[in-house]
Structures are given as C-alpha cells and as structure tokens.
Amino acid sequence: MGNNRVRYRIHSRTSKAVAINNPVLDTEGLPRFTAIRAEHIEPAIDEILADNRRQVEAILASAVPQPTWKNLIEPLEAINDRLRKAWSPVAHMNAVVNNEALRAAYNACLPKLSEYYTELAQNARLFRALGTLRDSATFSRLDRAQQQTIDHALRDFRLAGVALPAREKARFKANAQRLAELAARFEDNLLDATNNWQKLLTDPARLAGLPEAARYTARQAAARAGEQGWRLALDFPTYHAVMTYAEDRALRHELYEAWNTRASDAGPDAHRWDNHPVMEEILALRGEQARLLGLRNYAELSLQTKMAPSTDAVLEFLEDLARRSRPQALAELAELQRCARDAYGLDSLEAWDIGFYSEQLRRRRFQLSAEDLRPYFPIDGVLAGLFAIVERLYGIRIAARGGVETWHPDVRFYEIRDAEGLLRGQFYTDLYARANKRGGAWMDECRVRWRRAEGLQTPVAYLTCNFTPPAQEAPARLSHEEVLTLFHEFGHGLHHMLTRVDWPGVSGINGVPWDAVELPSQFMENWAWERPALELFARHYESGAALPAEFFQQLKAGRNFQSAMQMVRQLELALFDFRLHLEPQPPTAARIYQLLDEVRERVAVLKPPTFNRFPCNFAHVFAGGYAAGYYSYKWAEVLSADAYARFEEEGLFNPQTGRAFLESILEKGGSEDAMTLFEAFRGRKPSIEPLLHHSGLTA
C-alpha cells in the first residue's frame, strides 16, 4: 500500500514538469484554457490512459487479498479524478468554441476513453476486490457516502458486463466505444447543420415585429460578412425571436422548416448531415447492450440507475399526466385558433404560426408582451438578484474573481463562500449565443469535491446558456423565460458546488438518480415568479425603476398561459423517448416516425407538418444522456413542486426551511437514496398536487 502511494506521488510531480509543454496535463489548478491547443489533446489523453492502466495493476497488487478503502478506493479515485480534470476542459471547449482541429482531436479521443472506462468496469479482479471489501467487516465502519460509493461501483460493474462470458464482454466493450462515437457524430451533424444555414434580408419590411435586439444582432452578423442588410442564423435567440414576433408569415415558415429539418433528409440541407442512420445504429446498439445484460430492452437498462421502479410505472406516470392535461390543452388550442381567425383572419393555424399568435393572444389577454419585461432584466442585475436569493436561502456569499483564464472574452468567474468565509465552490458563466457554440443551456462539472490527502478539492462548475448578446451600448437584457433558464442551471450548479460529500462518486450531482437530478434546478425557477424575489433585481436597465406592480400582476397572471399545451408537448417527448427504447427490435427510421405519430395521436394537440424531422435534432436523447430518461423532467418536477410548497407554507426566505433544503438535498449529493433525502426534507412521500397546482391544472 505504501509503495503504491509513493509511485502515484512521484508520477504527480513528474506530470507537473511535463505539463509545462502540455497544458492538458496540468490538472492541479484551474484549466489553462488560453494555452490548450488541439495538438495537445490526444498525446495528453494517451499518456494519462497508459499511466492509469499501470496504476490499476499496482493498485490491485497492493489491495489483494485484503482490500480497504485506503488501498483500493482512494488510489482509484485519484487516477480517475486526474483523467476527469484533463478531459473536462477539452469536452467543454468542444461544445462552446468548436472548430475543425479541436473536433478532430476530441473525436480521436472518444473511442480511447470509452475503451478505457469499459475495460475498467469489466475488470473482474477489480470487481472481486470491491466485492471482498463490501463483504468485509470494515465496510460497516465506513460512512454512508463511502458505502454508497462501493455499492454504486459494484452496480456499475454489473451494468458494464463484468460477469459476461469473454465473447459477449468484448462485444459489449466494442458497442460502448461505437456508441460514444455515434453520440459525438449526432452532435457534430446537428452543429454543422445549425451553423450552415444563413439568410440575408435586404428589405426592412420583412423584419416587421422583430425586437430591436434581434435586428441589431442580424445587422451585426451581416456587417461581419461584409454585407448590407440583416443576416439571420439558426442560433436559438434568433429563431425564437422570428417565430414569436416576425409578422412575415413566409419568413416564419422558412425558419421553421430550416430549424426542424436540421441534420436530416429534408429541408434546405437535405442529406448533407443526415442523422437518420446515426439514430438507427444508436438504437440498435443500445438494444443489444440491454440484451447482453439479460434485460428485455434499453428502457429497462436505463431504469437500473433511476428512481422509477419499472417501465410500467414510468408509462403510467406519463399517461396519467396526459389524461389530466390534454382536455385543457385542447381547449387552449381552440382558443388560440379562434383568436387567429376572429382577430387576424387566419383560417388555418400552421406550426410556424403557433408562437406568433400565442404572443398576440398573450398581449391581448394580459396587456403585456415578453419584450415589455426585457428592459427590467439586465444581465448583471439578474445575476446579482439570483446571488442575493441564494445568499438569503443558504447563508452563502458569491463574488466575482478576476485573473482567471477563460475560453472566451464573455466568460466570467465567481466564487461561493459560506458565512465563515470558507470556499465552497467556484463557477464559470458563458451566457451568450455565438457561432460554433452548441445550443441550449447546461451545467457541467469542471472539478468535483474530493477530500484528497493533499487537502480539499473545491468543486468547480461550468454554467452555459445561449442568451441574446448585448446590443450596441446597452447591456444584455433577458426575457423572463431566459431568467427562468438561468435560475434553472444555477440550481444544478448549487447541487454540484454546495455538496458536503467528500468522495467523487457520490459528490454533488454524481450518484444522484437521473430522474431526481432535476429537482434542485426546477426548484430554483420558482423564485423568478415571486414578488419578494423580483424586488431584489427586476429594475429597468436605464432608469433603475422597479418592475411596475401592474407588470408583475400581469406576469403572474400569465404564468400558466397555455401551460397544458406545454405540458402535453413535454409528455409527447417523454413518451416518444421511452417507447422508442421499449422496442423489442431495432427501430428503422420509418418505425421511429411511426412511433412518434402513435404517441402524438394519444397525447399531442398539435400535429406538425410531414417535413418535420424533430428526432434528428433530439440531442437530449441521442447525444445528451437522457435516453429512456427524458421523463425525468416531469418525474423530478413532482419533487421540485412539492419541495417548493414547503417554502410557500413556511416563508419564501425562511432561513430554517432554506437550511433544511441545503442540508437534506443540496449537501447530500448521491450519498443516500433520493427518496430518503426527499422524505427527510418534506416529512412524507411526494405529492403530485403541488405540480398540478403550479401548472394551473385541476387535480
């Protein structure tokens, strides 16, 4: 055991010297983003993987026949933490500053990483050593987080095929490598298709209705290309602005078709980056992986690490919500159709009309547009308000810190400290849409909390969004929907950064079931609807005037505007994803759309046009870890709504309630069963009633 620790420490000192020439290998501090180049990536990963393989053999030699936490788990955590820290900035940069050389290096490493992790998880000697530790007398003397780490590891070994015969084990490993490559290809195709589409407008009349910020962004894009006019792209802020505000129906139709046929066999770039064969192969390999493990389908495999007890339970949950919400969704759609016909003379409401006429109806009913609110949500004010809210809830302090290397000039860096001034976490924010940046919003790990022999490793997060960037001299101003997005992602970040768990496998979001991990994020959104919270930050970017009372009343009154239509859309996606992974045979492209049509027939109230190729850009499921797990958003929303109901009962800023949520949920990570943690906070099992109430649905 002692010799093994010496070998690891010697290597750590050696790697620091090597890191002078290769910044990817410098994993002791924060990532050196400005120094990392594509040519650094593959050699660094090759070196770490080779060294890790040597270290695994040394660990086994030291731990067998008497494995302990000290001689088995700690050194394994050490080598894998170094690999995570080396790969984290690479994967992140590939998502936010993508270029051809970086993508090539990233994709070259994926099969190597997949091979390593599968090889590690199929190592029968490691599995036996873990089992020996689990069955030993020392196991009972470990703390709950340590026990959970071992139990999760044993489960993951089984799910990686450690017990399979040699031939099946090799097949499982090859499939895992191929799946990693296919997920990256799916995202690459989607990014390329998104970046490729551009449209230059020279007639200002075609921009009628668009907000000034969207016009400015389009004008700047044209100027950068040396053109006169307005250049539209498929970044989400532009797409959303056109679909919501553009009076030009033909323009809305054109963008709708371009957006919903990305990476497919249809639309303006038909067949160029077609994801259909990628999807077919992904689904076939996922099904084969499940069958190799003796399960009937991939949905069953997915649930092995989730809260939901069975595939039937998931289907029943989703279908019950659909039964409760579809009648109201049909009524909401009928109202929208009447408005479009009676007020605007539109006889037939098409998919590219929904966003526009919904906004018109919202204005007529509530005398308020989403754009009316935007001046009251300047980005710096929203961040300050968000920080003030969590400071009051959890007794923490958040402050910006300069002098930190980043990957783009827009990026900012912050630190979280507790009431005693101790550092609890750090995070980067990258908030604006730009070319070569993956769409959407997400939180990801840069560093995981881990109590090493050298001291405590502070958790570090990436918080990424795609908001409309600043226009001219004015600051970036968020829509209320974007405020909700920021609060959501920061909830994930708090879960990662405020953990008190010292072991990486169950620290922060690690080890948390996928259908519970959205609890802290959805929970945080609630404060963006409350007057006492909005008073902390909703101020006009020029005058400093607070959000007028009538605006707040109209905002609150519109909270559940078309909420049932939104509910059935999410249920449509969740049921489609889940049924797709229940298929007994690998679905063809035709079967994918047949399944989607069947789900829509039962749940949806809007039927898109035949050219719609939504599955080809459903990255959550085909590249983002939500396979047979998209239902998690609604499952966790039951938990988050019920958790928030306690604050409604006891006070939005009640410090005792905030401390209880911090200690029961945020600090515990994956160290205990998710339902046990929820019941510790709520004092009972979750109820669906708060979700129905918050969604404007009758029980």
- Which element (helix H / strand E) includes 450? strand 450-452
Report the residue count for the chain. 699
The residue assigned the tokens 């323009």 is 251
Give the residue from 601, 681, 696, 594 showing the smallest Cα distance to 640.
681
In a 10 Å sphere around its CB, with 0-12 CB exposed, 13-18 middle and 19+ buried, how is residue 290 labelled?
buried
Tell me the C-alpha distance between 605 and 607, whole Å: 7
**Annotated catalytic residue: which of 187, 415, 489, 583?**
489
> Which amino acid makes up residue 58?
A
Question: Residue 683: which residues within 8 A CB-CB, separation 6 or more?
Answer: none
**665 neighbors 524 (Cβ within 8 angstroms):** no
Tell me the C-alpha distance between 405 and 398, whole Å: 19
User: H-type helices in 73-165, by residue range?
Assistant: 74-96, 100-121, 124-135, 144-159
Q: Tell me how many helices (H) and strands (E) the chain has.
A: 27, 9
Q: Which of helix, strand or coil describes residue 198? A: strand
Tell me the C-alpha distance between 344 and 209, whole Å: 15
Distances (CA, A) of 123 to 5, 83, 180: 21, 18, 20
Catalytic residue flag (residue 489): yes
Please give the distance of CA 688 from its chain centroid, rounded to a whole number: 24
Tell me the C-alpha distance between 437 and 97, whole Å: 6
Tell me the C-alpha distance between 378 and 467, whole Å: 12
Q: What residues pair up with 418 in beta bridges, in sequence order?
A: 396
Torsion sign over Cα 376, 379, 381, 383: positive
Question: What region does 323 belong to: left with phi over 0, alpha with psi -120 to 50, or beta?
Answer: alpha
CA Rg, the chain, in Å? 25
DSSP state of 653: T
Residues tagged active-site: 489
